[in-house]
Amino acid sequence: MGTDGARALLERAGTLTLQTGNLLNWGCLRKKCPATPGEEVRDCIQKTLTEWSSKMGQDLNQEILEVLECTVAQAIEKINPEERDELKVSAKLFIVGSNSSSIRDAVDMVFCSFSLACSALGVAQLDSVIIAPPPIEDGTSLSVEYLQPYWQELENLVENKKIVAIGTSDLDKTLLEQLYLWAQVKPSSNQVNLASCCVMPPDLTAFAKQFDIQLLTHNDPKELLCEASFQEVLQESIQNTKAHEWIPLWLLRYSVIVKSRGIIKSKGYIMQAKRNAS
């Protein structure tokens, strides 16, 4: 019966916020090792939706919420303030909806994803945030102008002491240099996808060394979560016939690492989607 309740709520809501909580607490995921980051995301979203809908009350007259919070209470794990200094809390933000109706929306996404992460983890500040290049239309190439509004919002968060360091992902030497020269708060790191190059490009390495930018590696696909994939998961988990109306806006992956031992203490995803009811 839970699925019916969840479906009824989904059909009336305009925004869905989903939090997986700490994946390391999930027995079902601990046993299974996802092959790719994309499979992991899909898996987590599906399990969170299924679990959440199974706990929905059967009272379909429950309050109609514009923003639905989809989370599994026992998986949420706040950080103990006494341990905060020993932990590094970092996140990577993926903007999924490229057709964000305005730059203001894009900026709101950055802020919203950040504040949700802080409240989920119970912290006032993230140690580092990396932004993946926002999706661009086919036929156009990524430009520094396209990144600027997102970067400015991250800079605001640094200035307001909400984030310590900010970084980029998949920028070549030219783009990284353009961003570096323009930015008020300089990128502290740039992630390089090793699938696209087995060896770090020498010009990028030289530039990063000169300006003290840390080069990191990652194996995230260009599109970690696509619209079709999210709608499919929604359809499967909640038998939501209106799944096609839901569009994912952004996805944030966070991790909490014990500094002295380099051990991951907690890892999870937070995402937001909106419904385009025609």
**What sign has the CA pseudo-torsion 191, 250, 32, 254?**
positive
Closest alpha carbon to 174 in 140, 134, 201, 150: 201
pTM for this prediction? 0.91
Reduced to 3 states (helix: H, G, I; strand: E, B; else coil), residue 210 is helix
Output the pLDDT for position 98. 56
Output the pLDDT for position 1. 46
Output the pLDDT for position 277. 67
Output the pLDDT for position 197. 66
Do 230 and 48 meet the contact criterion of CB atoms below 8 Å apart?
no
Output the pLDDT for position 35. 67
Output the pLDDT for position 273. 93
Exposure letters 2-39 (e unless 16+ CB within 10 A, then b):
bbebbbbbbeebebbbbbbbbbbbbeebeeeeeeeebe
Q: What are phi and psi of 167, to 5 degrees?
A: -140, 175
Q: Where are the beta strands (DSSP E) in the chain?
A: 15-19, 67-71, 87-95, 126-131, 163-169, 189-193, 214-218, 246-258, 263-275
Output the pLDDT for position 126. 94
Provide block-wise average pLDDT over 10 residues at a time, the chain (278 residues): 76 90 72 74 92 71 76 84 94 78 70 88 94 83 90 93 95 96 98 81 95 94 90 88 88 94 93 84
Output the pLDDT for position 80. 92
Please tell me the distance from the alpha carbon of residue 204 to that of residue 216, in angstroms, as a whole number. Answer: 12
Each domain of the chain, given as residue ranges in start order, spans: 2-270
